[in-house]
Amino acid sequence: MIVPKPVRQESGPGSFVLDGRTSLTADPALGEVAAWLRAELAPVAGGELLPGPGSGTITLALGDLPPEGYRLTVGADVEIVAGGPAGAFYGAQTFRQLLPPGAFRRAGRGPYEVPGVRVEDEPRFGWRGCLLDVARHFMTKHDLLRFIDLMALHKLNVLHLHLTDDQGWRLEIRRYPRLTEVGAWRKESQTGWNGAMDGRPHGGYYTQDDIREIVAYAARRHIMVVPEIDMPGHTQAAIAAHPELGNLAEPLEVGTTWGIGDNVLNVEESTIEFFQNVLEEVLELFPAPYVCVGGDECRKDQWKASPAAQRRIRELGLRDEEELQSWFVRRFGGFLAARGRRLVGWDEILEGGLAPGAVVASWRGDLGAVAAARRGHDVINCANTSLYFDYRQSPGEDEPVPFGTVLMLEDVYAFEPVPAELRGDPAAAHVLGAQCCVWTELIDSTRQVDYMAFPRLAAFAETVWSPAAPAEGRDLPDFRARLAAHLERLDAIGVEYRRVSGPLPWQTRPGVPGRPEDPAGWQAQIDAWTSNLRHLR
Ligand code: ACM
């Protein structure tokens, strides 16, 4: 009943008893994993899991396996053999899932008996990500650490933190304190399509110490934190703090509504320098080899109307505003490459040509993934047609405000990270993996994040961890059975996932008429958005 499904699992002889006399020993190279597992299991077992002799022993050892691979054998003792610390951590996560769900309450209710089993496992993709938008709605450090633990439970390994947007700037920058003094706070938020506002002030940000703590906490759980500083669009909060970054004479406030905003950065050298200074601090805080600079949804109206932007276009010998955006993003690609990091950008960055080494986060359907891979760029598949968890899970009257389309659990489970057009094409090797995205325009609390992310995140985890689906598709009944057990674990942890009464919601896809939840209309919308990528595929 393990989620995500392991490569191989078979029952074996004997059984293991976890109790107050259980001991734990580990290869010194796996000391951190052992410390983590001890902390997880000690309250459950009712003992300290000391290295000394006990009634049963859990051993963590290194073996000749891929770094994220492991072999778990449960009999009278437990042995986890792994290719490296990450593999040992995943083996330990699997072991936890063999315990009854009550063990996830950490309530000291052992002894627990685990029937003999042998599991051999390794992930299909190296990039198993989740984007969390802490810009639209701030999430406290404590809640973010909890979310990291939930990602780790599902063997995800990349947290893409969307730190800045029109509605908020969430990262302390020492050189520019106004970014958070002003940019981290807004007076109210839009609540739905009818333009209603909630009248409730909102805000918050992470200090640099917070970020160091978050990055270290995630690293101990084998999760890389990839920061996103979105630009040149989605920058109204920064412009509110520093009007000199914008194109208008009059001041702006931090965004309170959502959608694709008009307010974008100007293209002065001083603005590029400002953001390079910001990135210098970002690079100090985030050791990940990848840094996302956004590049999505940049409206060009202000550049069209700006004499300064037009002059820049002429000086640089560019054709138009699209090329100006491409030039802007490339300035940061070069900056990051010179510092040994790789630029990640949304698929719009393909539109004007890209520096080699840039990674494309493809979000508007599959087209960007196909085009990027065929042009030799690595790709993270974030298809909004399957992986945008701000979209509702059902069209029910009691569901949140509609956004995008309906993405049911089974839609997510049917997702295939390698687009159909790339199957059999060597360019498919550029697909590093995939990423589900929890955008929070309309998600204003951790409880709502739980509701929107779970249980879909469990289905997503299986699409990036478990072996590729056979031609006839993934085994849905098998997933249903394992998910039922998994929901009991989520209950024990206190995850407020989307609950269903009676059987799980495997209803047929409802044909909801009208915008924006009509799937055909939605696909037409995506086709229109990506029409300028079509010639690249
Ligand atoms: C995006 O959804 N604008 C990446």
Any residues with CB less than 8 A from the CB of 515 and at least 6 apart, and which? 521
Separation of alpha carbons 76 and 495, rounded Å: 32
- Summarize pLDDT for 288-323 with one digit per residue, the tens: 999 999 999 999 999 999 999 999 999 999 999 999
Q: What is the CA(505)–ligand 1 centre distance, in A?
A: 28
Task: Quote the pTM value.
Answer: 0.95
Task: Count the helix, strand and coil residues of the chain and give each as a percent rounded to the nearest 5.
Answer: 40, 20, 45
| Average pLDDT estimate for 240-256 | 97
What is the overall mean pLDDT for the chain? 92
- When pLDDT is cut at 50, 70 and 90, the band that residue 528 belongs to is confident
The DSSP-derived string for 280-296 is: HHHHHH---SEEEEE--
Residue 514 has pLDDT above 50, yes or no: no
Of 167, 297, 407, 522, the residue with max ligand 1 atoms within 8 A of its CB, to mutate for a pocket test, comes to 297
Q: How far is the CA of 286 from the centre of ligand 1 (A)?
A: 22
The residue-averaged pLDDT of 277-282 equals: 98
Q: What percent of the chain is predicted at pLDDT more than 70? A: 96
Domains of the chain: 8-121 (3.30.379.10), 127-534 (3.20.20.80)
Q: Angle at Cα 286 formed by Cα 281 and Cα 289, nearest 5°?
A: 115
**DSSP state, residue 197:** B
DSSP 41-57: HHHHHTS---SS--SSE
Using the atom order of ligand 1, give the atom closest to the CA of residue 234.
3
d(CA 296, ligand 1 centre) in Å: 6
Tokens standing for residue 367: 């087209």
Is 70 exceeded by the pLDDT of residue 507? no
Which atom of ligand 1 is nearest to 388's Cα? 2
To test the ligand 1 pocket, which listed residue (391, 439, 441, 529) has its Cβ within 8 A of the most ligand atoms?
Answer: 439
Q: Give the pLDDT confidence score for residue 519 in this predicted structure.
A: 67
**C-alpha–C-alpha distance, residues 477 and 175, integer Å:** 55
- Cβ proximity of 228 and 165 under 8 Å: no
pLDDT band for position 55 (cuts 50, 70, 90):
confident
* Joined tokens for residue 287: 């050791």
Cα distances (angstroms) measured from residue 35 to each of 47, 60, 366, 389: 14, 11, 41, 33
How much is the pLDDT for 108? 64
More confident residue, 396 or 450: 450
Residue 248 bridge partners (DSSP): none
63-81: pLDDT as tens digits = 999 999 999 999 999 999 9
**What is the helix (H) or strand (E) element at residue 464, kind and residue range?**
helix 456-465
Using an 8 Å Cβ cutoff, are 57 and 25 in contact?
Answer: yes
110-140 tens-digit pLDDT: 889 999 999 999 999 999 999 999 999 999 9
CA gap 433, 209 in Å, rounded: 30
Edge-first strand order for the sheet with 8-18 is 8-18, 112-121, 70-74, 78-82, 57-62, 23-26
C-alpha–C-alpha distance, residues 459 and 455, integer Å: 7
The number of beta carbons lying within 10 Å of the beta carbon of residue 524 is 11
**Residue 500 has what pLDDT?**
65
Question: Which residues are within 8 A (CB) of 410 and not within 5 positions of it... i.e. 6 or more apart?
Answer: 459, 476, 506
Question: To the nearest whole percent, how much of the chain has pLDDT over 90?
Answer: 80
Nearest CA among 391, 389, 383 for reference residue 422:
383
Catalytic residue ranges: 297
| Residue 346 bridge partners (DSSP) | 361
Beta-bridge partners for 73: 79, 118
Reference 225, options 209, 213, 238, 237; nearest CA is 213
- Spatial contact of 171 and 225, defined as CB atoms under 8 Å apart: no
pLDDT given at position 45? 87
Q: Residue 437 CA: which ligand 1 atom is closest? A: 2
- What is the SS3 string spanning 146-192? HHHHHHHHCCCCEEEEECEECCEECECCCCCCHHHHCCCEECCCECC
pLDDT of amino acid 478: 93
Contact 490, 454 (CB under 8 A): yes
CA of 84 to the centre of ligand 1 (A): 35
Give the Å distances, CA to CA, from 185 to 120, 133, 320: 48, 15, 35
Short-list 413, 416, 382, 409, CA closest to 394? 409
Query: What b/e sequence results for 403-416 when a residue is b if at least 16 CB atoms lie within 10 Å of its CB, and e otherwise?
Result: bbbbbbbbbbbebb
Helix (H, G, I), strand (E, B) or coil at 85: helix
* Ligand 1, atom 2, residue with closest C-alpha: 363
Ligand 1 site: residues with CB under 6 angstroms?
296-297, 346, 363
pLDDT, residue 517, reads 58
344-349-353 Cα angle (round to 5): 115
Give the atom of ligand 1 at the shortest distance from the alpha carbon of 294.
4
Q: Which residues contact 472 (CB under 8 A, 6 or more apart)?
A: none
Distance between Cα 306 and ligand 1 center (Å): 25
In angstroms, the first-to-last Cα distance of the chain is: 40
So what's the pLDDT on residue 534? 78
pLDDT, tens digit, 9 for 90 and up, residues 98-115? 999 989 987 767 889 999
Map tokens 């194109």 to a residue: 247
CA distance 417 to 29: 33
pLDDT digits 0-9 by tens, 393-438: 887 778 888 888 889 898 899 999 999 999 999 999 999 999 999 9
Q: Say if CB 104 and CB 98 are below 8 A apart.
A: no
Please, are residues 415 and 463 in contact by the beta-carbon 8 Å criterion? yes
Query: Among 354, 356, 392, 399, which Cα is nearest to 533's?
Result: 354
Here the tokens at position 467 are 């072996």
pLDDT surpassing 60 at residue 526: yes
Question: What whole-number distance in Å separates Cα of residue 14 and Cα of residue 76?
Answer: 6
Q: Whose CA is nearest to atom 1 of ligand 1?
A: 296
Q: Is the pLDDT of residue 505 over 50?
A: no
Q: What is the pLDDT of residue 511?
A: 41
Structure tokens at 118: 């042998």
**CB under 8 Å to 284, separation ≥6 — which residues?**
none
| Residue 118 identity (one-letter amino acid) | R
